[in-house]
């Protein structure tokens, strides 16, 4: 096993930097895989890393935001685990009546921290934490181990039978017949978001990696809110959000990575809102309003309101048009766990 690295040391590093960067998957159109790959369900929720060190549990979003007050039942379940310290990676989800992960439903829990509000929301919208990786166990850093070994240790050392809050993420091996396409077709028939293909012998790295690949059933991604239109008729709040994404790599950032380029306009979304969302979003948009458009492209919307590009929205849509616009977009919710400057158009490599 790799050399000792205490969870206490890992927790201290999180405190200092404000985050632990999780391993991220790359979108792909690939369907040809060999037997070294395994396949997990792609969840539509909030990525979270949990650390238990010295009796304390921390639950952190991928940006390092604390989530303990919003999901206290997950903290309780992690604290009740037998054994010692650990660090795990997974996805917080809400499930609809058919057992599908539902990001819009999860929005009813996201951002709540007041104990009374959280208690009421827990009854309406129970959440689950699907664990799929182990980063540390006791005094050992497990990120250098092969994925199959990390998953075996996760399953063997955590108790997934004591309640519904913590759930093990099963995987499928590469099938002899039909390959990855057969698995993806089955996932899509079940109403899943898709699959994550993972190299079973790969180590865990704190960045986006070609060793984890996203196979999607339908189009959809995060987009940046750069403006909005006024409501018409009996509608309240606003008419539509004006959306965009950053160009990839406009130059070197201070961390050595490619800095995002210009914010490109991708269209507007006017569906998917309830009355509460329209009111709440309008308040946030008004606080961000600015006189100039943040988009590099001309936006042909009369009397549009422009906002600082800070909010990130999860959008479902059918496809990209040839001129880079969204076709049939639908608003699903805000993503508080992702920075606007990270948002680029997702396309499989080579396209």
Where along the chain do its domains lie? 20-216, 220-342
Q: Which uninterrupted H or E stretch holds 330? A: strand 330-334
pTM: 0.79
From the list 42, 151, 216, 338, the catalytic residue is: 42
Among 286, 304, 287, residue whose Cα is nearest residue 242: 304
Q: What is the mean pLDDT of residues 122-141?
A: 94
Residue with tokens 């509000």: 117
214 assigned to active site: no
Say yes or no: domain 220-342 is CATH 3.40.50.9100: no
| Burial label, 208 (beta-carbon count in 10 A; 0-12, 13-18, 19+) | middle
Q: What phi-psi label fits residue 179: left (phi over 0), alpha (psi between -120 and 50 degrees) or beta? A: left
What burial letters (b/e) apply to 155-168, b meaning 16+ CB within 10 Å? eebbebeeeebbbe
Q: 239 near 232, Cβ under 8 Å?
A: yes
Indicate if the pLDDT at residue 283 is higher than 90: yes
Q: What is the mean pLDDT of the chain?
A: 88
Class of the CATH domain delimited by 20-216: alpha beta
Indicate if the pLDDT at residue 130 is higher than 60: yes
Helices (H), the chain: 7-17, 72-79, 103-106, 115-124, 147-157, 179-189, 275-288
Residue 19's pLDDT band (cuts 50, 70, 90): low
């Amino acid at each position: 096993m790799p050399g000792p690295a205490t969870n206490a040391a890992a927790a201290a590093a999180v405190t200092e930097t404000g985050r632990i960067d999780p391993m991220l998957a790359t979108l792909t159109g690939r369907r040809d895989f060999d037997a070294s790959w395994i396949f997990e369900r792609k969840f539509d929720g909030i990525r979270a890393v949990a650390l238990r060190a010295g009796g304390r549990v921390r639950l952190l979003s991928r940006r390092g935001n604390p989530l303990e007050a919003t999901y206290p039942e997950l903290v309780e379940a992690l604290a009740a685990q037998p054994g010692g310290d650990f660090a795990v990676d997974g996805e917080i989800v809400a499930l609809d009546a058919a057992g599908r992960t539902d990001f819009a439903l999860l929005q009813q829990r996201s951002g709540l921290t007041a104990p009374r509000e959280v208690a009421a929301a827990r009854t309406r919208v129970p959440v689950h934490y699907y664990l799929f990786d182990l980063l540390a166990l006791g005094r050992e850093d497990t990120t250098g181990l092969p994925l199959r070994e990390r998953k075996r240790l996760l399953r063997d050392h955590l108790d997934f039978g004591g309640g519904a809050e913590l759930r093990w993420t099963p995987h499928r091996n590469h099938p002899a017949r039909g390959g990855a396409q057969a698995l993806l077709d089955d996932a899509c028939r079940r109403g899943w978001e898709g699959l994550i293909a993972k190299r079973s012998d790969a180590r865990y790295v704190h960045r986006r990696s070609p060793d984890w690949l996203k196979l999607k059933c339908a189009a959809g991604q995060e987009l940046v809110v750069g403006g909005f239109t006024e409501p018409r008729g009996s509608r309240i709040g606003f008419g539509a959000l004006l959306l965009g994404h950053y160009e990839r790599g406009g130059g070197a950032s201070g961390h050595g990575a490619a800095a995002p380029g210009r914010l490109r306009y991708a269209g507007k979304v006017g569906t998917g809102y309830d009355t509460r969302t329209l009111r709440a979003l309008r308040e946030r948009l008004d606080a961000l309003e600015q006189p100039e458009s943040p988009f590099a492209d001309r936006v042909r919307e009369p009397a549009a309101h422009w906002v600082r590009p800070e909010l990130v929205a999860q959008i479902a849509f059918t496809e990209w048009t040839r001129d880079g616009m969204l076709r049939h977009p639908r608003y699903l919710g805000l993503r508080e766990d992702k920075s606007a400057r990270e948002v680029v158009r997702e396309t499989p490599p080579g396209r």
